[in-house]
Amino acid sequence: MSKFLNILLPALGGAAIVLGVAFGMASRNYQSQEVDAVLSKAEAAEQRTKEKALEVAELTGRLDDLEGSLTDLRRSMANTGGTSVNVTQASLPKADYGLGRVALPQEIAAWDINIHPDGAGLPKGRGDALTGEEVFAEKCASCHGDFAEGVDNWPVLAGGFDTLTDKDPVKTVGSYWPYLSTVWDYVHRSMPFGGAQTLSHDEVYAIVAYILYSNDLVEEEFELTSENFLDVEMYNANGFIIDDRETTEYINWRIEPCMENCKASVEITMRASVLDVTPEEEESAAAKNTATDTDLESVKVAAAVLEQQDALIVDGERVFKKCKACHQVGENAKNKSGPHLNNLMGRSLGAVDGFKYSRAFAEASQEGRVWTIDELAAFLKKPKAYIKGTKMSFAGLKNANDIDAIIAYLASYSEQSDD
């Protein structure tokens, strides 16, 4: 055997022994680490179990507290004569998320702000129409106008009396709403826009009083209180009926319709020639159509003028909404806080019978001043500047087209009866 092998073989044998010992040690360490990991997981699971048990105990305690609170609430409401609350075990939440608590009776009462037609729920307070005018101008006029006439498409609150059967009825507090409690409730609950429930009770009473005054339902110095609230009679109080169509009308539509021999006899009541529905002969129609081109042109021009005038009157009716709170025009028009405006053109200033004018208008009447187009246009532009001392609070119309339109509209009522 060579000297090289004598050296190599012992070296290889020693290395093998070292590697074997190292592998054995590594295997023993791995098994030890695995056992430690399993023990650690078991300890963590045991800790979580203990924590869950504590949570269950805490939830059970809270549930007991809730049941005790409900028992106290029932006892309290029974002692105070309140309506009992039907809360059963089944209606309790299945889990407590740690949010909120049971509402107190005082809190429930604070949230119950309904006002009923019989006055139930109405709080103590008072407010007069003059004070209401100031509050209304500050908090409501930007949408509803200074005189409750409505700005642009915002609701009109005044006027519209006897229009509910018209094609385009004006439904306002005065003409449509049957209960004053609805007005108080809505103003208190939802107004002013963007600042709901910021009004005091006295401010709500004052605003409602002013709305009543704007509809001529009360006098200027009227004060609305919780005591006289039910004494106010609404114009449309009896205008609503119970819907009985299910028993009076629907039954007529659910029967088998008659398709033949529905009448005992048939009679001719009118001839087509009498009704003038028979087409004319061509010769007869041609004979009647003898108008010249000049005649046709004149008719077209006249029609165009009438159409333009009609459009101006329609526009004037829209502008007149600013005046409806104080003035009426048309059939059955009456004096309100301002005189009626029938037959205005050519009428002397301050000449409507039965209306109490301001001193300024009385003096204008004595001077013999008459409502002309120019006079009315100047007045509508700036009333207080044109007639010094007038009590009319209307600021005037800035748009010249609006002035022309409302003059055309008023002129269209130049032959109305003053009755």
- Here the tokens at position 85 are 């609350």
Nearest Cα neighbor of 137 from 201, 210, 195, 186 is 210
Residue 121, in any domain of the structure: no
Q: What pLDDT is stored for residue 85 in this prediction?
A: 46
Whether 319 shows a pLDDT value over 70: the answer reads yes
Last residue of a domain, one of 53, 75, 110: 110
312 and 407 share one domain: yes
Is the pTM higher than 0.75? The answer reads: no
Asked whether residue 130 falls in the same domain as residue 103, the answer is: no
Tokens of 32: 């030890």
The residue-averaged pLDDT of 411-415 equals: 79
Q: Which residue has the higher pLDDT, 191 or 21?
A: 191
Residue 22's pLDDT is 54
Most confident of 147-156, 181-190, 284-293, 404-413: 181-190
Q: What is the pLDDT of residue 297?
A: 63
| 3-class state of residue 293 by DSSP | helix
Cα dihedral: 253, 257, 263, 268 (round 10): 80
Residue 276: per-residue pLDDT: 64
pLDDT given at position 265: 81
Range of the domain at 70: 13-110
pLDDT digits (tens, 9 = 90+) for 83-125: 444 545 445 556 667 788 889 999 988 888 899 999 999 999 9
Q: Identify the CA nearest to 382 among candidates 364, 395, 369.
A: 395
- Assess whether 217 and 143 both reside in one domain: yes
* pLDDT at residue 4, rounded to an integer: 47
Stronger pLDDT, 299 or 59, i.e. the higher one? 59
pLDDT for 287 equals 53
Mean pLDDT (the chain) is: 79
Taking 60 as the threshold, does the pLDDT of residue 299 lie above it?
no
Contact (Cβ atoms closer than 8 angstroms) between residue 175 and residue 236? yes
pLDDT of the residue at 57: 76
Main-chain dihedrals φ then ψ at residue 26, nearest 5 degrees: -65, -40
pLDDT at 175: 95
Is the predicted pLDDT of residue 33 greater than 80, yes or no?
A: no
Q: Would 139 be classed as within a structural domain?
A: yes
Q: Is residue 237 part of a domain?
A: no
pLDDT band at 7; cut points 50, 70, 90: low
Mean per-residue pLDDT for 66-93? 61
Q: Which of 275, 313, 305, 335 is nearest to 409 (CA)?
A: 313
Higher pLDDT, 359 or 281: 359
94 shares a domain with 135: no
Helix (H) or strand (E) holding 409: helix 400-411
Q: How many domains does the chain have?
A: 3
For residues 29 and 130, membership in a common domain is answered with no
**Segment among 230-234, 265-269, 294-298, 306-310 with least mean pLDDT:** 294-298
Q: Based on the domain organization, do 303 and 401 belong to the same domain?
A: yes
Q: Is 100 left (phi over 0), alpha (psi -120 to 50) or beta?
A: left
154 or 410, which is more confident: 154
Asked if the model's pLDDT at residue 139 lies above 90, the reply is yes
- Only one residue has tokens 């526009």, namely 315
Percentage with pLDDT > 90 across the chain:
28
pLDDT digits (tens, 9 = 90+) for 203-262: 999 999 999 999 999 998 999 999 999 999 999 999 998 899 888 888 877 778 888 888
Domain end call among 204, 231, 258: 231
Residue 383 lies in a domain: yes
The answer to the question of residue 180 being in a domain is yes
**Environment class of residue 348 by beta-carbon count within 10 Å: exposed (0-12), middle (13-18) or buried (19+)?**
middle
Assess whether 190 and 132 both reside in one domain: yes
Domain termination residue (choose one: 79, 110, 141):
110
Judge whether 199 lies within some domain. yes
**CA dist., res. 202 & res. 209, Å (int):** 10
- At residue 132 the predicted structure's pLDDT band, cuts being 50, 70 and 90, is very high
CA 49 to chain centre: 57
373-405 tens-digit pLDDT: 888 888 888 887 878 877 676 777 888 888 888
**105 plus 130 within the same structural domain:** no
Instruction: Say if 291 falls within a structural domain.
Output: no
What pLDDT score does 179 carry? 96
**Residue 227 placed within a domain:** yes
